[in-house]
Amino acid sequence: MTQSPVISIDAMGGDHGPSVVVPAVARALAELPDNVCFLLHGDEAVLAPEIAQHPAAAGRVTIRHAERVIGMDEKPAQALRRGKGSSMWNAVEAVREGEASCAVSAGNTGALMAISRLILRMIADLDRPALVAPVPTPRGVTTFLDVGANIDCDAERLIEFAIMGEAYHRAAHGKAKPAIGLLNVGAEEMKGHDEVREADRILRAGGFDLNYKGFVEGDDVTRGSVDVIVTDGFTGNVALKAMEGVARFITGELRSALTSGGLATAGALLARGALTKFRDRMNPPPAAPFLGLNGLVLKVHGGANARDFAQALKVAADLAQSDFAAEIERNMRKLPAALAEAAPEAGAGMSGEAADVERTK
């Protein structure tokens, strides 16, 4: 996969479809190495004339006609029944067929997840792909997962997230040994529920090729104290949405504070450049992967503009040229032994120090 990566693109997906995807591909043609090629799925009558305007596309862009587009509000079950032959379906299928190394879509998230799972199947015994949220921090980006796909997670599941999130962070952000933290509560008497404590014990026991740092707390997600933060899909989804809510509330309050009258408004005008930089800084990166599939799928934010989508294509190319899948497999293979080894220790731990009488239940 390190030679001539092909990126398979759902050219009709997202709020803006080809009007964003084609300019994004044009940017990517200029910015990415010559060996990176693009396979565009969608309405040929629309795509062909637009792509023809970009001379750099010759030999690097292939258009594959798709009859159908999956709507942004279609239910996943409906997308599964009626999605065959759509631009999204075909974009994912090209990965299964080995024609492309990564599929990219700004379409309907639920549909993309259902279709990806059906076509590519899950690795290991995961039920659903983990959803990753890239969260901005003062130092860069935290890879935060799972943010909503897997509601109930045992220790094994949490460790799988750590393995996959670590490999993704390295591939997407070029950090050799990303630091991993396991999300937990902070008060001293309570060190979390059984699942996180068991996952922590197994990760600590080693055996994996991971830079595991132990427990982290909710505010570490935006602090950048570690690179990858792992949690179950319930907690991750709630935390992510709560964080989005705060960001929205603060920027709303700030806007009304700065437009509240004469001096403040004048001040806001003068500070406009700084405030714009601030807003850009707060925007989360536009692309996030589905982790745990036999193949790479990258979800781009539905409202992404051409710059965002081009950025996602760069991530796709980086992933396609990385050892991502092999690294995950290598650590996944160590999991059964690590779990088996931890099993007897679990009983000992529970009757000893871990069974804190102060703990609830």
Q: List the x/- string, 110-139, binding to its own copies by CB under 8 A.
A: x----------------xx-------xxx-
Stretch that binds its own copies, among 2-10, 62-70, 203-211, 235-243 (CB under 8 A): 235-243
Q: Least distance from C-beta 217 to its own copies, angstroms?
A: 5
337 lies in the site for its own copies, by CB under 8 A: no
Of 71 and 245, which has the nearer Cβ to its own copies? 245
State which of residues 81, 277, 307, 333 lies at the interface with its own copies (CB under 8 A). 277
State which of residues 140, 141, 234, 314 lies at the interface with its own copies (CB under 8 A). 234
Q: By CB under 8 A, what part of segment 281-310 binds its own copies?
A: 281-282
Side chain identity at 308, as an amino acid letter? D
- Cis amide bond preceding 232, omega within 30: no
321 lies in the site for its own copies, by CB under 8 A: no
Q: By CB under 8 A, what part of segment 90-109 binds its own copies?
A: none
Q: Least distance from C-beta 187 to its own copies, angstroms?
A: 5
Q: List the x/- string, 339-358, binding to its own copies by CB under 8 A.
A: -------------------x
52 lies in the site for its own copies, by CB under 8 A: no
149 lies in the site for its own copies, by CB under 8 A: yes
The length of the chain, given as a count of residues:
361
Phi, psi torsion values for 331, nearest 5 degrees: -75, -35
246 lies in the site for its own copies, by CB under 8 A: yes
Nearest of 55, 321, 37, 274 to residue 172 by alpha carbon: 321
Q: List the x/- string, 256-275, binding to its own copies by CB under 8 A.
A: -xx-xx-xx-xxxxxxxxxx
48 lies in the site for its own copies, by CB under 8 A: no
Of 79 and 163, which has the nearer Cβ to its own copies? 79
75 lies in the site for its own copies, by CB under 8 A: yes
253 lies in the site for its own copies, by CB under 8 A: yes
45 lies in the site for its own copies, by CB under 8 A: no
| Residue 117, both tokens | 């799972």
56 lies in the site for its own copies, by CB under 8 A: no
Of 174 and 186, which has the nearer Cβ to its own copies? 186
86 lies in the site for its own copies, by CB under 8 A: no
Phi, psi torsion values for 159, nearest 5 degrees: -70, -40
233 lies in the site for its own copies, by CB under 8 A: yes
Q: By CB under 8 A, what part of segment 205-224 binds its own copies?
A: 217-223
Of 127 and 341, which has the nearer Cβ to its own copies? 127
238 lies in the site for its own copies, by CB under 8 A: yes
